[in-house]
Amino acid sequence: MEPLRPQRRTAARVLDTLTPALILLSAGAVTAEDGGAMEELTTEKEAEESHRQDSVNLLTFIMLLTLTILTIWLFKHRRVRFLHETGLAMIYGLLVGVILRYGIPATSYHNKTPPSCSLKEGPVSTVLLNISGKFFEYTLKGEINSREINNVEQNDMLRKVTFDPEVFFNILLPPIIFHAGYSLKKRHFFRNMGSIITYAFLGTVISCFVIGNLMYGVVKLMQVLGQLTDKFYYTDCLFFGAIMSATDPVTVLAIFNDLHADGDLYALLFGESVMNDAVAIVLSSSIVAYQPSGANTHMFDAAAFFKSVGVFIGIFSGSFVMGAATGVVTALVTKFTKLHCFPLLETALFFLMSWSTFLLAEACGFTGVVAVLFCGITQAHYTYNNLSAESTQRTKQLFEVLHFLAENFIFSYMGLALFTFQNHIFSPIFIIGAFISIFIGRAFNIYPLSFFLNLGRRHKIKGNFQHMMMFAGLRGAMAFALAIRDTATYARQMMFTTTLLVVFFTVWVFGGGTTPMLSVLHIR
């Protein structure tokens, strides 16, 4: 493979903005006349090849999941608790990532170097290419780094398994969040509603600003030390704070559930982590919206800040209303149509209505996650009672399976991403700074708020509960999803790498340490 690389590089480097470069590679140039049939055949074969490649990619993930399931069974069978299934999925993902990265030789692309041409306007979503008289349509996949250009052709498989955030947000996330809402234990949840909202809203905002400001300090330090090679704005730091403030309900709660630990603590942790996913999404998109347009300052601006707050409240309440409304509509439909004579139709309707909440909210510019969470709660509260016996069971099981698959998929994907994502920027100072500031941010969330909440609560939140909440601040799928959504700039790439490491560390160490920690803190 090696001897070919220099040539490929030159081909890629001819790219230039000033000369409208048209690269003619030696391989292709067929005349329009006799090439018709052959070209058609090539396209067909290429389509088939790409179909096969897609199948292999999907298969990789499915095999990973299968392996995870079998190992989970083994662990459950042997009562191993130091490693949770999500941690396991991540480890398998890592291993496959390593294999893909280092085990598979770069496929021979010697006559497949991506050709290129120049345009002087902004990136557009669709481009037409005139190739030997035929027009081909190309769609934008994303920006790539100049560093990356040399890699483009090196390992196609690696890039193919890098996955579309759209898939995550529209397909994998909704069932997870919906299931959380649908299977919520309402009594404990509503009893602790005030505290949950305080932690989730106020706490997350505090944590976001604490982390953001600390990280800004770290970034300044890096600039002084000359470790930063590109721009890193204050708003980027705040964005990082928002990403890092979403705690993950998955791991700790699964263990809590297995151990039947204290109901109130469970409700607090669960409620906080579900709600703050939503808060983090809204926060991060508000911060992006808040970036003062046109200007280069990216600094703090009071007017823009209050606008953000307004946006935040508007989005949140809109999503809440939308989720609850769809839930109520489903409840009314199931009540008045006697659909329960046909459980299959009922289940399908239930499924579609719940999913449509998510999409409806996203389409209106609200937050689908918040909407689907409240939709789940409403469905459980109202619709559930109208369903036929078969449907109640069917819907529960359906969402349980979907949730399980989506969750494990995400965690194994995270493992995979560490090696397959090609733009990692590892900055030790930034990473260490992130770990410290996340810890401090979490502390600023839990302890002061618990103090104030205890002033008003009848059942005080005890010290050991507070330590447990502090300890249980894992970062998981949501942080990852927010970080991968945009990895175009230097700052975002560094954040993505750091986020991945934080997720790995917290899931393995804190997740694995939950059971010992519970007994250390005398919680039962």
User: Which one of 347, 423, 437, 499 is in contact with a second copy (CB under 8 A)?
Assistant: 347
Distance CA 46, CA 33 (A): 21
- Nearest to a second copy of 3, 296 (CB atom): 296
Return the closest-CA partner of residue 125 out of 136, 141, 113.
141
Write the DSSP symbol of residue 129. Answer: E
Task: Tell me the C-alpha to C-alpha distance, in Å, between residue 444 and each of 195, 203, 441, 476.
Answer: 15, 8, 5, 20
**Torsion angle defined by CA atoms of residues 330, 335, 337 and 338, in that order, rounded to the nearest 10 degrees:** 130
- Residue 28 engages a second copy in binding (rule: CB under 8 A): yes
Q: Establish if 143 lies at the interface with a second copy (CB under 8 A).
A: yes
Rank residues 104 and 345 by Cβ distance to a second copy and give the closer one. Answer: 345
> 194, 217, 310, 365: which one contacts a second copy (CB under 8 A)?
365
DSSP alpha helix (H) spans, 226-367: 234-244, 250-259, 263-290, 302-336, 343-363
Shortest reach from residue 330's CB to a second copy, in Å: 10
Cβ-based nearer residue to a second copy, 2 or 137:
137
Q: Which is nearer to a second copy, 335 or 462 (CB)?
A: 335
Considering only 170, 213, 454, 464, the residue that binds a second copy (CB under 8 A) is 170
The two structure tokens encoding residue 384: 């559930």
Which residues in the 102-121 window bind a second copy by CB under 8 A? 112, 114-121
- Which residues make Cβ contacts (< 8 Å) with residue 403, sequence separation at least 6? 175, 176, 178, 179, 180
Compute the distance between CA of residue 122 and CA of residue 369 in angstroms, rounded to an integer.
Answer: 32
Q: Which of residues 40-79 bind a second copy (CB under 8 A)?
A: 40-44, 46-47, 50-52, 54-56, 58-59, 62-63, 65-66, 69-70, 72-73, 76-77
Q: Which span (269-277, 361-369, 375-383, 505-513) binds a second copy, by CB under 8 A?
A: 361-369
**Smallest distance, Å, CB 64 to a second copy?**
10
Binding residue for a second copy, selected from 3, 130, 456, 458, defined by CB under 8 A: 130
Among 4, 15, 429, 521, binds a second copy (CB under 8 A): 15
Contact between 401 and a second copy by CB under 8 A: the answer reads yes
| Residue where the block lists tokens 């449509």 | 356
- The phi-psi region of residue 358 (left if phi > 0; otherwise alpha if psi is between -120 and 50; otherwise beta) is alpha
State which of positions 424-463 bind a second copy (CB under 8 A).
none
- Nearest to a second copy of 3, 122 (CB atom): 122
What is the maximal distance between C-alpha atoms in the chain? 85
In DSSP terms, 475 is beta-bridged to: 247
Contact pattern from residue 254 through residue 293 relative to a second copy, giving x for each residue in contact according to CB under 8 A and a dash for the rest:
----------------------------------x--x-x
Among 80, 82, 99, 142, binds a second copy (CB under 8 A): 142
Residues 508 and 414 sit within 8 Å (Cβ to Cβ)? no
Kindly state whether residue 123 participates in binding a second copy, applying the rule CB under 8 A: yes
- Nearest residue to 310 (alpha-carbon basis) of 281, 279, 286, 277: 286
Shorter beta-carbon distance to a second copy: residue 3 or 293: 293
- Regarding 400 and contact with a second copy (CB under 8 A), the answer is yes
> Can you tell me the distance from the alpha carbon of 169 to that of 171, in angstroms, rounded to the nearest whole number?
6
Q: Is 16 in the site for a second copy (CB under 8 A)?
A: yes
What is the size of the binding site for a second copy (CB under 8 A)? 126
Does residue 21 bind a second copy (CB under 8 A)?
yes
Stretch that binds a second copy, among 251-259, 344-352, 375-383, 430-438 (CB under 8 A): 344-352
Rg over alpha carbons for the chain, rounded to the nearest Å, is: 25
**DSSP string covering 11-58:** HHHT--TTTT-----TTT---HHHHHHHHHHHHHHHHHHHHHHHHHHH
509: contact with a second copy by CB under 8 A? no
Residues 199 and 445 sit within 8 Å (Cβ to Cβ): yes
The answer to the question of residue 495 lying near a second copy (CB under 8 A) is no
For residue 239, the minimal CB distance to a second copy (Å) is 11
| C-alpha distances out from residue 377 to 29, 111, 178, 371, 386, Å | 61, 55, 8, 10, 15
Would you count residue 486 as binding a second copy (CB under 8 A)? yes
Least gap, CB of 254 to a second copy (angstroms) = 12
